[in-house]
Structure 1
Amino acid sequence: MAGALYAIGLRVFLFGLNAASILGHRKARQSLTGRRGWPERLSYAVQAAEKKRPGKWIHIHCASLGEFEQGAPVMSALRERVPDRPILLTFFSPSGVESVPANTADHVDYLPFDTAENMRLFHKILPASDTVLIKYELWPNLLESRLSEGAKIHLIAARFDANRHPANIWGRWIRKKMARFTSVLVQDSASAGVIAKFGIHAEVAGDPRMDRVRDTFHMEPSQAVQAKLDQIAHWMGNRKMLVTGSVWPEEWKVLRKLIPRLSASGWCLLCAPHEVQGQTARNWASESGFPRSTQYLDCPIPPSDGLILDEMGVLKHTYALGHAAIVGGGWGSGVHNTLEPAVFGLPMAVGPNIGGFREIQSLQSIGALTVCPSPHEMIRTVDLWMSDAPPEKEGKAGADWILDNLGAAKSIASRILNV
């Protein structure tokens, strides 16, 4: 019964996706066109890997670029441990496929839509010995195709909340499949306790994003990114910089009210919209009079109180230049990545919708992050930073907290390979 309802729901979803694509929705079109020809690409990848890496395939699947931040350090640890085994990296969302370099794994592609027919063919072409799912990517037909052929499935970096899927009445069908997983590795003991109530054993392995952001801290940026950082540093001069990442319209309204304060305060503003591509960045640049970074690829950025960063792959490195940060999403679906500024010791402010993000709760408890219940409170917080100084001690506490929570990636890789 559940399987039949799922099949109907999937057909409705695909119909809606096609309709959205016809109406011009960019991501819907990318999702459809990007998946065309996947069997041929996958077959070619299998043939290409045979001579270079003769071992059994490992399949790592992430929903989008955000989840890849958790999967990337685990993938690196696996590559280090078993260099002879090829790795397939798949995404559901275009944000992952379009942003991750093709050489990140032996093959990077979209996960086919989760129809029974697609997944039978998917497994036939590439019968991965180990399938690693990041956080909550539980596609029923993918699971069944792998499990029925004896493949090992590992759910990693998972986090479960009471009464939320799959830990609710609607998750029974998925939980039956989860009970057949080789390993369920969760971020914290609270998640292990939630899923244990349904008879599923989970091990606490930590959050590999800590390793990921620490890698970023030590990483030497690419030549192109370093050139952009040098350009921003020259534009910034001796001023302090407020870095605002993954900014939605709600945060932009706050920033608009802060703009008149910048010139006299000795601060400048770097704003990275959540939607980098499209009209948003252009509109905000027009409203504020700020230049966009893509307008000045080979020449100095003109003097201004602010800069719109409309390029992918640069934001996480700009925190190294900053003195404080606002992380967007807190008046929308949820706050975005707070670990990226935290690792550089930046104090942070976010909106009120912190949901089940336990790292935000931890950073708040040590004073490294301020949750602002209203736009007025966020303006007040930033005003205090500008008139006095950002709380460096509290910012450092955030960086130290990340150091105290490293090591999940290697632990997870060992668990995957040793079961």
Structure 2
Amino acid sequence: MLFRFTYNLVMNLSYPLLRIIGILSHKLYLFTTGRQEVFKQIVIREVNIGEWVWFHVASLGELEQARPVMEELKKSFSNHKILLTFFSPSGYEVQKHYNLADCVCYLPWDTNRNVNRFLNFCNIKLALFIKYEFWPNYFYGLSKRKIPTYSVSSIFRPEQIFFSWYGGAFRNILLDINHFFVQNESSKSLLNSIGIDQVTVNADTRVDRVYKMSRQNNKLELMEDFTAGKKCFVAGSTWPEDYDIMEHLFEKETRLKVVIAPHEVDQKSIEKLEKHISVDCAKWSSYSSEKDRNKSILIVDNIGQLGKLYSYASFAYVGGGMKKNGLHNTLEPAAYGIPIIIGEHYNRYEEAVTLLNSGGMISVKSSAEFKEITHKLIKDKKLTQQMGENNNQYILSKKGASQLILKKIESLSGL
């Protein structure tokens, strides 16, 4: 009771503050102003008519986990409509017209008033919250209305507050979830240790997504022209911390084609990247075959093509691992059966640990280590093939989680 009172007080007081801070922060401005439109959007989209399945994700990464389940749902239960909500502007602003969902909007701020207004209007038959999304008032409201609620592709760790000696009130949040689909046995054991037994271990649903993407037509005319059949290295979702270890690739022209796809592609970020590069390089937005095809470095200054870019790679680097808690999606390049290099911080990512242990990925801590492994991968064809095959086998062994989840939900909820 005290927890709910305190939580609601914090939620009610914090939102006006966020709106004020939004004057100085564009991202927070989108975060707050976008939420003002939610109740108009659900009326226009008639979310009160028909049967709706609600998917909630934090941002783009979690959407990639939800997407394969949505696709399976649409195939098997085409009469159900999909409501997709985002917490973050970085997800909503990119995917607000996502064609697999019948209504896309922000998640209204988790206050009692918003929750009741949202759930009383929307005709939701079941709700799926992806990975780390745990909202007390929404879970309580769904439970009170007897709407089946599932946590999908979730991961739990001992250091999370749910498992601390003082985490009783937070553990109660989890009791409103009908079933958990977790990514590993350790998460299942942790939930079991606090009396939660409605748990199924499944692979990461993103595997289904990246497997499907790797089997589609990924041809890009610009990449065909730039690579011209030569060995290609793709560095995806990179940050400034990653560029420091790649310096030997930036210092002189090489026969290796180097493609860099930064995580942030605004003008300032691209200019920072260009300062790291000593040789003349091409940019995607201004690419000209006549003047750029013989250059060794290409900067991809737009978003949305990374999955296809990896299809041209002989080996790849996935960014974010040179800073803590920042490693990006290693499953995308793994699906193409190519070796992967990452930075030193990866232990929080289940798939990264497994890929590394299975021999398909290598972690580096310095520019010297990065230089050594890139030289090996360029020269040692046998090593490159073996690492790539290890990644390919991992993907094949983990695909199919989305179908299993949907079948389980169907049996539990009578969808």
TM over 0.5: yes
* Structure 2, gaps ≥5 residues long: none
In the alignment, what sits opposite 1:374? 366
Percent of residue pairs identical:
28
Partner of 2:263: 274
Alignment counterpart, residue 87 of structure 1, candidates 82, 89, 93: 82
Query: Counterparts of 1:95 and 1:380 in 2: how far apart (Å)?
Result: 36
In structure 2, do the counterparts of structure 1 residues 376 and 11 end up closer, same or farther at CA, with 3 Å as the change threshold? farther
Partners in 1 of 2:336 and 2:26 — Cα distance?
34
| Residues 281 and 292 in structure 1, CA contact (< 8 A), matched pair in contact too | no
Q: How does 1:164-313 map to 2 (within 5 A)?
A: 164-169=160-165, 171-201=167-197, 202-220=199-217, 226=219, 229-261=220-252, 263-264=253-254, 266-285=255-274, 287-288=276-277, 289-296=280-287, 301-313=292-304
Distance, in Å, in 2 between the alignment partners of 1:129 and 1:183 is: 15
Partner secondary structure for residue 84 of structure 2: strand
Aligned residues: 405
Measured in 2, the distance between the counterparts of 1:12 and 1:86 equals: 34
What's the RMSD between the two structures over aligned residues?
Answer: 2.2
CA contact (8 A) 1:210 1:402 kept: yes
Aligned to 2:396: 403
2:163 is paired with a residue whose SS is: coil
- The one of 344, 353, 361 equivalent to 1:352 is 344
Query: Residues 131 and 152 of structure 1 are in contact (CA less than 8 Å); yes or no, is this contact kept in structure 2?
Result: yes
Deviation, structure 1 residue 8: 4.0
Partner of 2:158: 162
Q: Normalized against structure 1, the TM-score is what?
A: 0.90
From 54, 65, 71, the equivalent of 2:66 is: 71
Q: Structure 2 CA distance, aligned partners of 1:253 and 1:214?
A: 31
CA distance in structure 2 between the partners assigned to 1:7 and 1:169 by the alignment: 23
Aligned to 1:103: 99
Query: Which residue of structure 1 lines up, in the alignment, with residue 37 of structure 2?
Result: 37
What's the CA shift string for 1:244-274, capped at 9, x where partnerless? Answer: 111011101222332225x24x202111111
Q: Write the mapping of 1:323-338 to structure 2, written as runs, cut at 5 A.
A: 323-332=314-323, 333-338=325-330
Q: Normalising by structure 2, report the TM-score.
A: 0.91
Q: CA deviation at 1:177?
A: 3.0
Shift in alpha-carbon separation, 1:287–1:329, aligned structure 2, 3 A: closer
User: Alpha-carbon deviation of 1:276?
Assistant: 2.4
Q: Please give the secondary structure, in 1, of the residue aligned with 2:99.
A: helix
